[in-house]
Amino acid sequence: MPHSAIIRGHTRNARTRPIPLTACPLARYRTGLFEKAGETVAEMVLDRLRELQEADLELRGLQHKKASHDRAAKVQVAQIAKHQEQIEDLRGERLTARVATNEKELNVKQKRADIERLRAQQMQIKDNRQFQALQNEIKFAELAISKIEDDILSDLGDLEAVDTQIAEAEAALAREQQGLEDLKKQIEARKSDVDAEIEARRRRRQEIASALPGKVVDQFTRIADRLDGEALAPVIRQEDGGSFICGGCHMGLTQNTYVILAGHSDNLVACPNCTRILYLPGTGAARLRMDPYGEDA
């Protein structure tokens, strides 16, 4: 049962059974300082939960920071892979173009050899028409050579352009690699600090949680995981003075919700819409801090 520890604010006869908070470790404060200030057990638990939420949010913030460093490094690695792939493609393109140009150069060589052979044949021929026929063949081969040579020149221009592209991509790759190195150094330098901070917050959170009933902490953690650490919400009195809304999801709450929270009930109340655990602002520790001897006086 997901909300067994907490009364749902929208129903008077909640099917779920509230946890008896008087049996929780906080009950020992009943005869201590808190009782003098008139705080109920539910208020004590809510105070602890507010501390828990604060520690939890700090912990989540740090974990998020750490994860964002790792994400930045991953983005950089992906960028490097993209440049490497681009360079591979360009080199492949260049190789194909070079092979085609080589073939054309070979073709020119063969045609020149053909022309040599045709000229040799011409020297042996006495017949004028045959001589002219060979002459035409030579002309035809020379024309073909001239056309292929134009092609080769254009190819060489293209190759040069690809070389420029490769050089640019290589420079970009070098920059990305340098960037990644710098980022890694930065992450490494900060890593132990962040890890130590995370560990300290984890211990703090554990310390607070250990003073609360396990079921309440489980419930808190489930809501916090779902709502990015915001497991508690204040009950806000609307300007008309008579109606209330949840400070988390801004949905309306029944008068009964307020009555349970304001009365000396030993039950926690959850928002029926977003399931956040509700508290009344200005109660519990907030009220204690109004003590003239308190630090906020």
Nearer to Zn ion, 34 or 244 (CB): 244
Tell me the closest approach of the beta carbon of residue 234 to Zn ion, in angstroms: 10
CB closer to Zn ion out of 142 and 225: 225
Which of residues 46, 246, 261, 270 is near Zn ion by CB under 5 A? 246
Q: Which of 9, 18, 229, 248 binds Zn ion (CB under 5 A)?
A: 248
Closer residue to Zn ion, CB minimum distance, 121 or 273: 273
Sole binder of Zn ion in the list 148, 187, 236, 249 (CB under 5 A)? 249
254 binds Zn ion (CB under 5 A): no
* Least distance from Zn ion to the Cβ atom of residue 237, Å: 15
Span near Zn ion by CB under 5 A; candidates 15-23, 81-89, 186-194, 247-255: 247-255
Tokens of 87: 């360079």
**Segment contacting Zn ion by CB under 5 A, of 87-95, 151-159, 205-213, 248-256:** 248-256
* Residue 261 near residue 9 (C-beta atoms within 8 A): no
Which range touches Zn ion (CB under 5 A), out of 32-40, 113-121, 193-201, 269-277? Answer: 269-277
Q: Which is nearer to Zn ion, 165 or 273 (CB)?
A: 273
Residue 93: which residues within 8 A CB-CB, separation 6 or more? 162
Question: Which residue among 274, 277, 280, 288 contacts Zn ion (CB under 5 A)?
Answer: 274
- Enter the tokens of residue 121: 């044949």
CB of 39 to Zn ion, least distance (A): 24
Task: Give how many residues touch Zn ion by CB under 5 A.
Answer: 7
Q: How far is the CB of 247 from Zn ion (least distance, A)?
A: 8
What amino acid is encoded at 161 in this protein? A
Straight-line distance from the first to the last Cα atom of the chain, in angstroms, rounded to the nearest whole number: 43
267-283 b/e with 16+ CB inside 10 Å = b?
bbbbbbbbbbbbbbeeb
Residue of 271, 277, 280, 288 that binds Zn ion (CB under 5 A): 271
Residues at the interface with Zn ion (CB under 5 A): 246, 248-249, 271, 273-274, 276
